[in-house]
Structure 1
Amino acid sequence: MEKRNHYSPEFKSQVVLEVLREEATVNEIATKYGVHPVMVSRWKQEFVERASEVFKKGPSEAEKKLEAEQKHVADLERKVGQLTYEVDWLKKKSDELLGPGWKKKMR
């Protein structure tokens, strides 16, 4: 089975911009970059469809999702910090109340 190629967004945009300049045909540009012409056409279509997103105000859906995930992670990290603090406090108080060797006695 053949391994799929993964192209960077920068590479794709470079190819599409060259296609949009119309200095050469799609087939010539595809040959130049070693990409199938159908793939270049797909990239061009996707590029044109999403062009309006560049001028939208405010965060994109992906940015909103990333921000929500970052907030969730921060909340979880705060919770872990709080729980760690509480466990350390309980260990300290247990040592004070039951003596330093209380763990061995409980086994």
Structure 2
Amino acid sequence: MAKSGPRKINRYSEEFKATAVRLSDLPDVLIQDVANALDIHPFMLSRWRKQAREGLIVTKGIKLDLETASELKRLRDLEKKYKLLQEEHDLLKKAIRFASDQKRKSSSSSKQTGKPTKSQ
């Protein structure tokens, strides 16, 4: 259910928009990462990028904070490594489950193939 009352509308400066666009243009940086870092919606950043292509937002002359740019690249690298580790973890869990199922099957079949006992 939607909240009643006035909506919060943020107004961003042209410099902020241009900086966001420049950050999103860096190699190996995703729009989603920049949007998350700046606490804005990715659609808004995509719209600003379109406006920059149309010349409505001027990005030339905007200097990027090198620390922010490197942090975004580092974040992207960490996310890639984390995803790889998750996949490896899932694979190991499946291997452990498979091995324990095989062990359980082999131990139950060996009990069944044992020598029958005589009943008196």
Higher helix share: 1
Range class of TM-score, shorter chain: 0.3 to 0.5
Q: TM-score, normalised by structure 2?
A: 0.40
